[in-house]
Amino acid sequence: MTRSVTLPITGGCQCGALRYQIFEPPLMIYACHCANCQRIAGSAFGLAAGIKESSLEFTSGEPARVTWSSDAGNERYGSFCGDCGCRIAHGQTPSIGILSLRAGTFDDASWVVPAGHIWTRSAQPWFKFSDDDIQWDEQPTDYGPIIQKFKASVTFEE
Ligand SMILES: [Zn+2]
Ligand SMILES: [Zn+2]
């Protein structure tokens, strides 16, 4: 089934001080089961929307920033609400032009379904993958199949 989503996508932090809009369709949405995402999300995995850095605009509040080294060894930073601590998006230094935005912060996340699963080697043992799930043990070397599957499942309207 194809889902239909109207742009811009709006979202924000838990307390509402930090608000954002995304003006272009996300490239993909996937679940990341790496140890960092599990800790950041306080959950079994992170639900990430890969978006163009230029497509994100903060419409209310100024994001605070934290930095760390990813499981793949990249220098990463996170934008979060300084008031409630809610993490919104992750980027890389130097920039690769792409942000990974926490899809659970969308105002309407009802259409969000991960098109792939990455870092499955650290997935919680109780998590059940479907046979047709795209899975990568660690960091994907090619996001193409995840992007294709995502594109086939969602349409975006202005
Ligand atoms: Zn907040
Ligand atoms: Zn991760």
**Residues 100, 87: contact at Cβ < 8 Å?**
no
Residues in the chain: 158
Task: Print the domain residue range for 104.
Answer: 7-145
How far does residue 11's CA lie from ligand 1's centre (Å)? 11
Residue 98 lies in a domain: yes
d(CA 54, ligand 1 centre) in Å:
22
Q: List, as ranges, residues with CB under 5 A of the ion ligand 1.
A: 13, 15, 17, 81, 83-84
Query: H-helix or E-strand containing 64?
Result: strand 64-69
CA 110/CA 104 separation, integer angstroms: 9
Sheet holding 46-52, edge to edge: 64-69, 75-80, 87-92, 98-102, 46-52, 28-32, 117-118
Structure confidence by residue, pLDDT tens digits, 61-111: 999 999 999 888 999 999 999 999 999 999 999 999 999 999 999 999 999
Report yes or no on 154 lying in a domain.
Answer: no
Q: Which two structure tokens, joined as six digits, stand for 149?
A: 């599957």
For the chain, what is the domain count?
A: 1
- Ligand 1 centroid to Cα of residue 32, in Å, is 23
Ligand 2 mean position, distance from CA 40 (Å)? 9
Please check whether residue 113 lies inside any domain of the structure: yes
- pLDDT digit string (tens) for 140-152? 999 999 999 999 9
Beta bridge partners of 114: none
- Residue corresponding to tokens 């499981």: 71
3-state secondary structure of 29: strand
Q: What is the CATH number of the domain that holds 20?
A: 2.170.150.70
Is pLDDT at 13 greater than 90 in this prediction?
yes
